């Protein structure tokens, strides 16, 4: 490899006399202002150069003058090409490489042309240093290789589009959508989504949405799947491009469904277990209520014989019956016979009622203590049955944690403001800022070590031989579904504190309260009363008759349909039990509406409305009256049904 050095050239360069120097003055004025290296070559040697020449070659000017071209300045790989162009006096632009004084190879762009300088045939050569351009080109090449490597190694789909058309994609995208890779290039990205999703994507591109969102993807075979998309604009090789990532959510959503189903099964199994535990407490309370009811009935009979007033005994019987109805409602709630429904729930009375059920089953030496603020707590928007289950499970867990120990279980509730956004990982505090009601259950048990605490919410994990390990797992699932939080503080021999956070309800709907006016506001009606329970049928008939209504009583769905067929033109309203053997209330309603779409129907049931009946009552097509009901509630429900139908 030849290079510029401080040694004398093998052949001395011809000296430029003063006349020659003067004749090149005009050329030098132009050359010295150039940012490129400009040299004059005559007879294969450098006879002049501008100031950029020594800078490019890394030497002094007098060391450059007289050097042979191409032998001493051009890299050996390009000497033959340079010699060919010199011999043939070929003009034009081409790339070559030179060698500087330090032996470094420098890529250059060469432009050469023949000129007469003071009658001498010379070759003027301009050299542009290409090191920066070559480095930039190498960076672009490496960036392209990195981009391709990222595209090909990405587990999910990635595509690059220009002006709306795919110019590059990876195998993951093609595989996700059922195409061969060569089929993807040139297509529109909207070809792999539904028309509705394509409109969403176009809107998000216009609005420069760069966060992930979910659309519906379409595979080559026409099947659809949930797909997450995130796109970003960028400039690549001077072009405006859009890089979009695609992720098939089918497996993740299937896993999420399985997780929810498992949580629901755990919740249901644990709820059944809890009902069995509650049976003792409920039986205890029911026996006390029955003593009061039977005793007051006998007192009323004795007072009637002696001519005394019996209203006090009847009032006590009504109170006991109302309390029995409340116990039945709680049992239905815990057993899961109520339809899950988010509604405003007041925490303090619910805690007291649940604790009251457990009080009679507390082991000796255990006491319950409550701590509530003086100002009433706000309601939480939650499913009543599931919140009841949370309280029951936490209390049961506290009782079991104090097995064999005397002490106090403390239940508190307070309002907590969460001001910072969390990660939402449970167990842990709530993920979203806002107001929460915090339910705290503190026991004086033996506490937990770190390994036990790490597994306390796992399904089927229990430190008790008698437990199934479902209680706290169910609590965690309920809290997660309500967007709340749950935290635990404990240490061996120092007891445990579990706190559950539930969001405070906003925009609480107003509820209708039956008034005494409702009982007398209904005009005379011809009513078909259908119920398979003789006691209910008889009491309902007597109550309605007391309000001057004409009543047709049917003890089954079949009999109700027969009476309807016989008196169809005379019946104004139907009071219909939902749960009956044979033809049930829903089937009776379907046949009645088929015969008369405007018929007024008031459903009655000990369970909350579900399925079609719930939809009918929500749409106002029928009314609903929960059992057990009082006379004023029956009359009020009928009055509202008639008034709604009149409009």
How far does the chain reach from its first CA to its final CA, in angstroms? 104
Q: Cα(417)–Cα(429) distance, rounded to whole angstroms?
A: 11
**Domain limits for position 496:** 257-503
Contact predicate 300/314, CB 8 Å? yes
Least confident among 94-98, 137-141, 181-185? 137-141
Confidence of residue 302 (pLDDT cuts 50, 70, 90): confident
Q: Which pLDDT score is estimated for 13?
A: 33
Residue 317 tokens, joined: 């019987």
Which of the listed residues 248, 281, 305 is the one where a domain comes to its end? 248
Better-scored residue on pLDDT, 293 or 412: 412
Which of the listed residues 208, 223, 248 is the one where a domain comes to its end? 248
Q: Is 510 within a domain?
A: no
Q: What is the CATH number of the domain that holds 455?
A: 3.30.565.10
Q: Cα(198)–Cα(217) distance, rounded to whole angstroms?
A: 9
- Tell me, letter by letter, the H, E, C secondary structure of 626-646: ECCCCHHHHHHHHHHHHHHHH
Q: Which pLDDT score is estimated for 348?
A: 92
Better-scored residue on pLDDT, 30 or 498: 498
Which of the listed residues 81, 109, 129 is the one where a domain comes to its end? 129
Q: Do 69 and 147 fall into the same domain? A: no
Confidence of residue 124 (pLDDT cuts 50, 70, 90): confident
Report pLDDT digits (tens) over 209-245. Answer: 888 899 999 999 999 999 998 888 887 667 888 888 8
Q: What is the CATH number of the domain that holds 622?
A: 3.40.50.2300
From the number of C-beta atoms within 10 Å of its C-beta (0-12, 13-18, 19+), residue 384 rates as buried
Q: Which pLDDT score is estimated for 155?
A: 52
Better-scored residue on pLDDT, 196 or 293: 196
Q: Do 489 and 531 fall into the same domain? A: no
Q: Do 293 and 411 fall into the same domain? A: yes
Whether this model's pTM surpasses 0.75: no
Confidence of residue 330 (pLDDT cuts 50, 70, 90): low
Q: Do 566 and 544 fall into the same domain? A: yes
What value, to the nearest 5°, has the Cα angle with vertex 425 and ends 420 and 430?
A: 40
Q: Is 512 within a domain?
A: no
Q: Is 434 within a domain?
A: yes
Q: Do 57 and 141 fall into the same domain? A: no
Q: Is the pLDDT of residue 335 over 60?
A: no
Q: What percent of the chain has pLDDT over 70?
A: 79
Q: Is 13 within a domain?
A: no
**Residues in contact with 38: Cβ distance below 8 Å, sequence separation at least 6, in sequence order:** 31, 49, 50, 52, 53, 124, 125, 126, 127
Q: What percent of the chain has pLDDT over 90?
A: 20
Q: Do 318 and 365 fall into the same domain? A: yes
Better-scored residue on pLDDT, 145 or 435: 435
Q: Which pLDDT score is estimated for 4?
A: 46
Mean pLDDT, the chain, integer: 80
Least confident among 210-214, 215-219, 261-265, 301-305? 261-265
Report pLDDT digits (tens) over 377-394. Answer: 999 988 887 888 888 888
Q: Which pLDDT score is estimated for 602?
A: 92
Contact predicate 381/505, CB 8 Å? yes
Q: Do 282 and 373 fall into the same domain? A: yes
**Residues in contact with 356: Cβ distance below 8 Å, sequence separation at least 6, in sequence order:** none
Candidate ranges 208-217, 233-242, 259-268, 517-526; pick with highest mean pLDDT: 208-217
Report pLDDT digits (tens) over 30-66. Answer: 566 677 888 888 888 888 888 888 989 999 988 889 8
Q: Which pLDDT score is estimated for 414?
A: 95
Candidate ranges 118-132, 234-248, 537-551; pick with highest mean pLDDT: 537-551
Q: Do 468 and 392 fall into the same domain? A: yes
Q: Which pLDDT score is estimated for 566?
A: 94
Q: Do 451 and 551 fall into the same domain? A: no
**Start-end of H helices in 547-597:** 557-567, 585-595
Mean pLDDT of 147-167: 72
Q: Which pLDDT score is estimated for 378?
A: 93
Q: Which pLDDT score is estimated for 608?
A: 64
Q: Which pLDDT score is estimated for 371?
A: 93
Q: Cα(7)–Cα(66) distance, rounded to whole angstroms?
A: 11
């Amino acid at each position: 490899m030849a290079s510029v050095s401080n040694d004398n050239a093998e052949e001395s360069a011809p000296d430029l006399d003063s006349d020659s120097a003067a004749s090149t003055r005009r050329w030098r004025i132009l050359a010295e202002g150039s940012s490129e290296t400009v040299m004059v070559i005559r007879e294969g040697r450098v006879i002049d150069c501008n100031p950029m020449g020594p800078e490019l070659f890394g030497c002094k000017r007098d060391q450059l003058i007289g050097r042979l071209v191409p032998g001493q300045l051009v890299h050996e790989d390009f000497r033959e090409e340079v010699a060919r162009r010199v011999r043939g006096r070929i003009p034009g632009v081409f790339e070559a490489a030179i060698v500087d004084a330090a032996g470094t190879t420098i890529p250059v762009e060469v432009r050469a042309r023949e000129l007469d300088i003071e009658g001498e045939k010379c070759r003027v050569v301009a050299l542009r240093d290409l090191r920066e351009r070559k480095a930039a080109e190498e960076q672009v090449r490496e960036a392209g290789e990195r981009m391709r490597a990222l595209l090909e190694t990405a587990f999910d789909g990635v595509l690059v589009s220009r002006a709306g058309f795919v110019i590059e994609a990876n195998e993951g995208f093609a595989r996700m959508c059922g195409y061969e890779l060569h089929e993807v290039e040139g297509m529109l990205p909207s070809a792999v989504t539904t028309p509705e999703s394509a409109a969403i994507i176009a809107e998000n591109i216009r609005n420069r949405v760069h966060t992930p969102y979910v659309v519906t993807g379409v595979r080559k075979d026409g099947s659809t799947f949930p797909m997450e998309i995130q796109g970003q604009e960028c400039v690549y090789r001077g072009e405006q491009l859009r890089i979009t990532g695609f992720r098939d959510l089918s497996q993740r959503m299937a896993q999420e469904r399985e997780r929810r189903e498992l949580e629901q099964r755990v919740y249901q199994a644990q709820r059944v277990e809890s009902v069995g535990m509650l049976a003792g407490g409920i039986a205890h309370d029911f026996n006390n209520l029955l003593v009061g009811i039977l005793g007051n009935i006998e007192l009323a009979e004795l007072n009637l014989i002696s001519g005394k007033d019996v209203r006090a005994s009847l009032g006590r019987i009504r109170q006991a019956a109302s309390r029995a109805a409340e116990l039945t409602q709680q049992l239905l709630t815990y057993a899961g016979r109520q339809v899950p429904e988010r509604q405003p729930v007041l925490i303090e009375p619910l805690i007291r009622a649940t604790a009251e059920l457990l009080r009679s089953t507390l082991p000796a030496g255990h006491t319950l203590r409550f701590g509530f603020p003086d100002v009433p707590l706000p309601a939480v928007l939650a499913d009543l049955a599931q919140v009841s289950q949370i309280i029951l499970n936490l209390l049961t867990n506290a009782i079991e944690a104090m097995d064999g120990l005397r002490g106090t279980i403390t239940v508190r509730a307070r309002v907590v403001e969460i001001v910072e956004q969390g990660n939402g990982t449970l167990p842990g505090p709530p993920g979203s800022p806002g107001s929460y009601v915090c339910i705290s259950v503190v026991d004086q048990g033996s506490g937990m070590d770190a390994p036990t605490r790490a597994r306390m919410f796992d399904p089927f994990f229990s430190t008790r031989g008698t437990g199934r390990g479902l209680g706290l797992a169910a609590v965690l699932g309920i809290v997660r579904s309500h967007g709340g939080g749950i935290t635990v503080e404990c240490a061996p021999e120092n007891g445990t504190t579990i706190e559950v956070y539930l969001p405070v309800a906003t925009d609480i709907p107003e509820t209708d309260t039956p008034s005494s006016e409702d009982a007398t506001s209904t005009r005379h009606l011809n009513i078909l009363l259908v119920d398979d329970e003789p006691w209910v049928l008889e009491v309902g008939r007597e109550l309605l008759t007391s309000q001057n209504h004409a009543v047709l009583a049917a003890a089954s769905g079949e009999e109700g349909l027969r009476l309807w067929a016989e008196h169809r033109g005379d019946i104004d309203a139907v009071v219909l039990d939902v749960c009956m053997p044979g033809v049930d209330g829903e089937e009776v309603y379907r046949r009645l509406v088929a015969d008369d779409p405007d018929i007024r129907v008031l459903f009655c049931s000990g369970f909350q409305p579900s399925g079609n009946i719930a939809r009918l009552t929500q749409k106002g097509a029928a009314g609903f009256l929960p059992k057990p009901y009082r006379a004023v509630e029956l009359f009020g429900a009928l009055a509202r049904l008639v008034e709604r139908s009149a409009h």
